[in-house]
Amino acid sequence: MNTSESSSQYSASMTAPELRASGQYRAGVDDGHPAPSTGERALVLGGGGSTGNAWLIGVVAGLFEAGLDVTGADLTVGTSAGSTAAAQLAGATPADLLAAVLAAGPGQRPGPGAGAVRGSVRPVVDHLARTNKIIADSVDAADMRRRMGASALEREAASDGTWQSQWRTTVAARLPHQSWPARSILITAVDAVTGDPVVFDRHSGVELADAVAASCSSGLPYEIGGRRYIDGGYRTNAENADLATGFARVLVLSPFGGRTLTPPAWHLDLATQVADLRSRGSRVATICPDSSSEHMFGANAMDLSLRPAAARAGYDQGRARAEELVEFWR
């Protein structure tokens, strides 16, 4: 499959309805059934590494147990670890996914609820330092995405070439099902060569595991159909909540708390995205880690030993927020 022809690609500077009107949204969609441009409910699952994935699952499980099921949203937007969670929640119950996270002890191979490869603080710190330098050298978001892609391609050239298949196997093992669900899910990525934002859906001609693997590729680029992709968090921010434009109610789960490393003048932060959604008529609610659990993200985002604690923290927040969100969601 040639994703240069088959993937749905978006411009970060246009809203979802504008993209659909321009034809960019449906580039290569071959069956005439694009993702909905409007609807009642949209669920946005942000990026956040291994602990972020566990926290997302915990929040959704906590909401579910308290009587609020958000897994049937008309649209789910998944970015990086959020793309893994989106695919997992489409194929397994929140309770089962939470149980898998809690059952996996430190150092064990992640089960179906896992969200990122095993890692430590040092590689994450190095990655953040490299990312901060690229952002500082960039003139705008488009330039930043191109530079991020170029950096990933340089690291790929110096690698032994085994990462692609290993990463694909790892990601596929996390998914309860390998097929795209019937429900509408958007998974974000960035073209490593051009820096163009990319969004995959079930009409893109790309396998679900490949779309998730691309969205989670923050180090080396992931190749699909001759093109290479990097982490969807570089599209705008870790949430990409703008893709929910046109929906009446938007619930955003943000493991990184809406923070961004990019300059405020670029307007890529979650607060700006939320304000824009509201200005266009959407009601928006957000859930972010509370102050007692913030230490499990950022530099610690790839620490597998923190996944159970992150999941429990998310679960507690989901249960605590469920009552106030029932009217909002229903």
| Distant-in-sequence, close-in-space partners of 133: CB < 8 Å, separation ≥ 6 | none
Tokens of residue 38, six digits: 């409007």
Q: In the prediction, which pLDDT does 122 show?
A: 65
Cα→Cα distances 51→56, 110, 184, 295, Å:
9, 12, 25, 10
Q: With the C-alpha atoms ordered 141, 142, 144, 148, is the resulting torsion angle positive or negative?
A: positive
Ranges of residues in the chain whose predicted pLDDT is under 50 = 1-34, 107-119
* Contact indicator for 318, 63 with CB cutoff of 8 Å: yes
| Distant-in-sequence, close-in-space partners of 285: CB < 8 Å, separation ≥ 6 | 249, 250, 251, 252, 325, 328
Residue 14 DSSP symbol: S
Tens of pLDDT, residue by residue over 249-283, are: 999 999 999 989 999 999 999 999 999 999 999 99
Q: In the prediction, which pLDDT does 111 show?
A: 39
Buried b (16+ CB within 10 A) or exposed e, 90-115: bbbebeebbbbbbebeeeeebebbbb
Across 103-242, the runs of DSSP E, i.e. the strands, are: 184-191, 197-200, 222-224, 227-231
Pairwise CA distance, residues 125 & 130, whole Å = 9
Q: In the prediction, which pLDDT does 329 show?
A: 96
The model's pTM is: 0.86
Q: In the prediction, which pLDDT does 121 show?
A: 57
